[in-house]
């Protein structure tokens, strides 16, 4: 390739870059993937390669395709992305450029080599790309015709291009994530309002059917005792029974009001509140709830309340869905990391949790965890049971 060819190609690239950057400013967020594809197609022609792709490093440290294009008659790149031993992942993560002119075996695995040879690839170029000081992924391209050498100026220019595209792509994925979160927020607030109605109805029913009836019965019994005293026929046993019934009623009312507004967290601390809730649910159902709670530091009240609500939703789910016998509630704090698990031995979930749309208990658990930079995961192993697992890094301002 002659020097003049390279320099004319680079000045053409310069002009193209300034046009494209202006165009990207105008593009709607939703159209970014299409615009990126068009840009790569134009770059492919400009740099005289047969196909191109942008691949990105995921949070899990694997590679995934972001965008790829190929000239007519050439298949889109099929890099062995999932292979953690693959040459691409190792080099890209280390920020090494792979510029292969002769398809040599020392930079690719035998399978990759064989695949490329069969396809007719003559030369490969893979340039790692950084966004905000961190490796984002890479731009890759292949030539299928006569090739001299990948020039350094060319590599530098293409990397800058790719860096620009990668930054835009990151903004796009952030936008997608925010849009998804907004949708969930709308669903969540609707769900909260509906739940409030359901809870109010349940509360009014509980007050009417349970407490009002029991109070009415008590006042009749108390009236009978008054009559008996007036007639001097008072039976101590009757008075004792009345006293016990009043005690029971007072206890049940206290438990109900505490579960509605857990002042118990402030009074006795989170550990006691969680244990009390386990006892309350255990008494109402046939569940054996095993509560293993580490001594806890004094947590911020909003975090403590969230953990309490997470327990309530999880136990509610066990009661509603699990047909379980045992529930294990485990809360530990190790190395400034709080881990909270609610596991049951019930029927578990046959389908993928991701298919369960429209139910918001688990979504609300996730939201409550994310408020404190934590992670929530839900798992239903093949042998049955359901596991809710929360981890929250305890930062200084999460302590009271
Ligand atoms: N402990 C469990 N055992 C078995 N399946 C469960 C368990 N917990 C949750 N699930 C499944 O996961 C689904 C989602 O739970 P989620 O709490 O989000 O919704 P829900 O309880 O059905 O409704 P709500 O929105 O009122 O909470 C449930 O419908 C149920 O199928
Ligand atoms: Mg639920």
CA of 273 to the centre of ligand 1 (A): 23
Tell which residue, 175, 214, 219, has the closest CA to residue 31. 175
Let me know if residue 397 belongs to a domain: yes
User: Residue 89: what pLDDT?
Assistant: 83
- 122-152 pLDDT, tens digit per residue, is 778 889 999 999 999 999 888 877 767 778 8
Nearest CA to ligand 1 atom 8: 317
Task: Name the residue with higher pLDDT: 388 or 84.
Answer: 388
Q: Average pLDDT, stretch 185-190? A: 83
CA of 131 to the centre of ligand 2 (A): 40
Tell which residue, 240, 372, 219, has the closest CA to residue 307. 372
- 3-46 pLDDT, tens digit per residue, is 676 677 778 888 998 999 999 989 999 999 999 999 999 998 88
Let me know if residue 42 belongs to a domain: yes
CATH number, domain of 34, equals 3.30.450.40
Q: Average pLDDT, stretch 240-247? A: 92
Tell which residue, 355, 350, 361, has the closest CA to residue 318. 361
CA of 313 to the centre of ligand 2 (A): 6
275 and 145 in one domain? no
Nearest CA to ligand 1 atom 3: 322
170 and 268 in one domain? no
Nearest CA to ligand 1 atom 23: 359
Under DSSP, is residue 343 helix (H, G, I), strand (E, B) or coil? strand
- Distance in angstroms (rounded) separating the CA atoms of residues 361 and 363: 5
- Distance in angstroms (rounded) separating the CA atoms of residues 333 and 392: 9
Return the structure tokens found at 262: 């857990």
CA of 356 to the centre of ligand 1 (A): 8
Return the structure tokens found at 173: 């994925």
Given 3-state DSSP classes, what are the helix, strand and coil percentages for the chain, each rounded to the nearest 5?
A: 55, 20, 25
360 lines ligand 1 (CB under 6 A): yes
317 lines ligand 1 (CB under 6 A): yes
Atom number, ligand 1, closest to the C-alpha of residue 353: 12
354 lines ligand 1 (CB under 6 A): no
CA of 265 to the centre of ligand 2 (A): 22
CATH number, domain of 271, equals 3.30.565.10
344 lines ligand 1 (CB under 6 A): yes
Nearest CA to ligand 1 atom 26: 361
165 and 26 in one domain? yes
CA of 310 to the centre of ligand 2 (A): 10
Share of the chain above pLDDT 70, in %: 89
Atom number, ligand 1, closest to the C-alpha of residue 317: 8
Let me know if residue 232 belongs to a domain: no
* Beta bridge partners of residue 71, listed in sequence order: none
Q: What is the dihedral of CA 124, 96, 93, 173, to 10 degrees?
A: -60
User: Residue 205: what pLDDT?
Assistant: 82
Long-range contacts of 323-328 (CB under 8 A, 24+ apart): 323/347, 324/287, 324/385, 325/286, 325/287, 325/288, 326/287, 326/288, 326/289, 326/290, 327/278, 327/287, 327/288, 327/289, 327/290, 328/290, 328/292
163 and 301 in one domain? no
318 lines ligand 1 (CB under 6 A): yes
User: Residue 5: what pLDDT?
Assistant: 66
Decide: 270 and 278 in contact? Cβ < 8 Å. Answer: no
321 lines ligand 1 (CB under 6 A): yes
Tell which residue, 43, 34, 35, has the closest CA to residue 14. 43
CA of 254 to the centre of ligand 1 (A): 28
CA of 361 to the centre of ligand 2 (A): 4
The interaxial angle of helices 301-317 and 361-370, nearest 10 deg, is: 160
Asked which of 179, 210, 227 is the last residue of a domain, the reply is 179
**Which ligand has its closest atom nearest to the C-alpha of 356?**
1
Q: Is the pTM of this model over 0.85?
A: no
- Distance in angstroms (rounded) separating the CA atoms of residues 33 and 52: 14
Beta-carbon count within 10 A of 388 CB = 25
Decide: 42 and 19 in contact? Cβ < 8 Å. Answer: no
- Indicate the helix (H) or strand (E) that contains 165: helix 152-205
Average pLDDT, the chain: 86
**What's the half-sphere exposure (Cβ side, CA atoms, 13 Å) at 380?**
14
Mutation test of ligand 1: which of 311, 321, 367 has the most ligand atoms closer than 8 Å to its C-beta?
321
- 334-358 pLDDT, tens digit per residue, is 988 999 999 999 999 877 766 666 6
Let me know if residue 227 belongs to a domain: no
Whether 180 shows a pLDDT value over 60: the answer reads yes
Under DSSP, is residue 308 helix (H, G, I), strand (E, B) or coil? helix
315 lines ligand 1 (CB under 6 A): no
Let me know if residue 364 belongs to a domain: yes
Let me know if residue 168 belongs to a domain: yes
376 lines ligand 1 (CB under 6 A): no
Asked which of 157, 179, 201 is the last residue of a domain, the reply is 179
Let me know if residue 147 belongs to a domain: yes
275 and 171 in one domain? no
CA of 278 to the centre of ligand 1 (A): 18
275 and 167 in one domain? no
Atom number, ligand 1, closest to the C-alpha of residue 344: 1
Domain ranges, residue 325? 263-400
Let me know if residue 241 belongs to a domain: no
Q: Average pLDDT, stretch 107-121? A: 63
Asked which of 179, 204, 231 is the last residue of a domain, the reply is 179
Tally of domains within the chain: 2
CA–centroid distance for 357 within its chain: 15
Whether 80 shows a pLDDT value over 60: the answer reads no
Decide: 393 and 337 in contact? Cβ < 8 Å. Answer: yes
Mutation test of ligand 1: which of 289, 319, 359 has the most ligand atoms closer than 8 Å to its C-beta?
359
User: Residue 377: what pLDDT?
Assistant: 94
């Amino acid at each position: 390739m002659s020097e003049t060819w390279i320099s004319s190609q680079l000045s053409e690239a310069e002009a193209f870059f300034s046009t494209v950057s202006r165009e990207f400013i105008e593009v709607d967020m939703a159209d970014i993937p299409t615009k990126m594809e068009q840009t790569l197609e134009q770059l492919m022609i400009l740099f005289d390669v047969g196909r191109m792709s942008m691949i990105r490093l995921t949070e899990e440290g694997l590679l995934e395709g972001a965008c790829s294009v190929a000239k007519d008659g050439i298949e889109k790149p099929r890099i062995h992305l999932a292979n953690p031993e693959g040459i691409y992942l190792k080099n890209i993560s280390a920020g090494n450029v792979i510029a292969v002119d002769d398809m040599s075996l020392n930079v690719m695995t035998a399978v990759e080599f064989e695949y490329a040879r069969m396809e007719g690839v003559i030369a490969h170029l893979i340039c790692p790309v950084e966004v905000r000081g961190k490796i984002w992924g890479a731009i890759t391209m292949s030539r299928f015709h006569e090739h001299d050498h990948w020039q350094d100026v060319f590599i530098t220019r293409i990397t800058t291009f790719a860096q620009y595209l990668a930054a835009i792509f990151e903004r796009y994925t952030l936008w997608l994530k925010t849009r998804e979160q907004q949708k969930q927020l709308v669903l969540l607030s609707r769900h909260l309002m509906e739940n409030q109605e359901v809870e109010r109805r349940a509360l009014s029913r509980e007050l009417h059917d349970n407490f009002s009836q029991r109070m009415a019965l008590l006042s009749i019994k108390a009236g009978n005792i008054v009559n008996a005293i007036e007639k001097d026929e008072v039976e101590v046993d009757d008075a004792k029974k009345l006293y016990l019934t009043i005690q029971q009623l007072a206890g049940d009312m206290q438990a109900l009001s505490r579960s509605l507004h857990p002042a118990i967290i402030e009074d006795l601390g989170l550990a006691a509140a969680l244990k009390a809730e386990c006892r309350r649910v255990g008494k109402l159902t046939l569940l054996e709830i095993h509560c293993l709670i580490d001594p806890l530091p004094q947590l911020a009240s909003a975090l403590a309340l969230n953990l309490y609500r997470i327990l309530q939703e999880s136990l509610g789910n066990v009661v509603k869905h699990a047909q379980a016998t045992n529930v294990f509630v485990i809360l530990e704090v190790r190395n400034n990391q709080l881990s909270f698990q609610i596991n049951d031995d019930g029927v578990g979930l046959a389908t993928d949790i991701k298919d369960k749309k429209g139910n918001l208990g688990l979504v609300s658990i996730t939201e409550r965890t994310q408020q404190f930079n934590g992670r929530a995961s839900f798992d239903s192993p093949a042998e049955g049971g359901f596991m809710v697992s929360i981890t929250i890094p305890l930062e200084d301002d999460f302590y009271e």
